[in-house]
Amino acid sequence: GQNIDQPTEMTATEGAIVQINCTYQTSGFNGLFWYQQHAGEAPTFLSYNVLDGLEEKGRFSSFLSRSKGYSYLLLKELQMKDSASYLCAVMDSNYQLIWGAGTKLIIKP
């Protein structure tokens, strides 16, 4: 079966760095997405990785290792507004998105 694993919840301190991991097992691979979802709102697109390596976009970076079936989202200089759920999703061989359950990130002052 297809499976996306990410931690249920993480806590970090304002100004610090946090890494949210995602491991996957899917039938085929056409890229991995990270989305941010604030409570009561729809997800917003953060990043897309299809090749191995690190993609940096401001305070957020996303890493992919296809051989390990592993990705992480790195958030630097955490702000209170970063408190949200972070969803990892993999596009399989049928170009369908397989969603993880999301990681709820709690930022403390």
What is the contact surface with another protein in residues (CB under 8 A)? 30-31, 33, 35, 40-45, 48, 87, 91, 95-97, 99-102
* Shortest distance (Å) from residue 69 CB to another protein: 18
CB closer to another protein out of 39 and 80: 39
- 74 vs 92, beta carbon nearer another protein: 92
- Compute the least distance from the CB of residue 28 to another protein, in Å: 13
Residue 96: CB atoms within 10 Å: 14
How many Cβ atoms are within 10 Å of 75's Cβ, its own excluded?
A: 21
Which single residue is written with the structure tokens 């990130």? 105
- Alpha carbon distances (Å) from 102 to 6, 84, 94, 109: 7, 10, 22, 23
Nearer to another protein, 76 or 83 (CB): 83
